[in-house]
Amino acid sequence: MAVKIRLKRMGKIRAPFYRVVVMDSRTKRDGRAIEEIGKYHPTEQPSLIDIDIERAHYWLSQGAQPTEAVAALIKIVDEGKLQTKEPKTPKKDLYEAAIAAAGGKNDAGTDGPTPRKKAAKKAEPKAEAKATEATEATEATEADTKADEATEAAADDTAKAEA
């Protein structure tokens, strides 16, 4: 059986990434692989090349033939010419730096959500209920007097209009 080390294309249209795989030369490009030994993301800057070089050398010693692209990738990894990307700074650090630059206090140091207020004692709600009933009663009597005044004013206007 002729074994090849080649790239298996994955991803979306115009956003490819590849897996470096060992597979039978007669299988489809994206077919079933014998073993996946790495990955290659050409669209990232710099390109991500992650190959298990020990497994690649094992398969090369067993007679697997690498494609031109995979041979170039293995050569880059072997020679150590691999460029690495700077690690991203965590968002929490960026947030804390922005808070420090603004001169405000940092709320990130609190543990968990703020505690809830304790419920009022049972005797207090009864007193509050009586107070609200009293205010509602006075508001109702005020509304009644305003309504009576409005009807009297309307009656006066109609009397003047008839005269």
Burial of 41 (0-12, 13-18, 19+ CB in 10 A): middle
Domain contains 51: yes
* Backbone angles phi and psi of 15, in degrees to 5: -140, 65
Predicted confidence at residue 154, as pLDDT, reads 67
Could you report how far apart the first and last alpha carbons of the chain are, in Å?
A: 118
Predicted confidence at residue 98, as pLDDT, reads 92
The total domain count for the chain is 2
pLDDT block averages, 10 residues each, the chain of length 163 = 91 92 89 91 88 93 94 91 79 91 66 68 60 64 66 67 63
User: Looking at residue 15, which CATH number applies to its domain?
Assistant: 3.30.1320.10
The token pair at 20 is 């470096």
Predicted confidence at residue 40, as pLDDT, reads 92
Tally of CB atoms within 10 A around 20:
28
Euclidean distance between CA atoms 22 and 56, whole angstroms:
9
The residue written with tokens 């990434």 in the block is 17
Predicted confidence at residue 88, as pLDDT, reads 80
DSSP per-residue string spanning 92-147: HHHHHHHHHHHT---GGGS-SSPPPPPPPPSHHHHHHHHHHHHHHHHHHHHHHHHH
Its domain, for residue 162, covers 122-163
Listed in sequence order, the residues at least 6 apart from 102 whose beta carbon sits closer than 8 Å to its beta carbon are none
- Whether residues 67 and 134 share a domain: the answer is no
Domain contains 43: yes
* Backbone angles phi and psi of 116, in degrees to 5: -80, 155
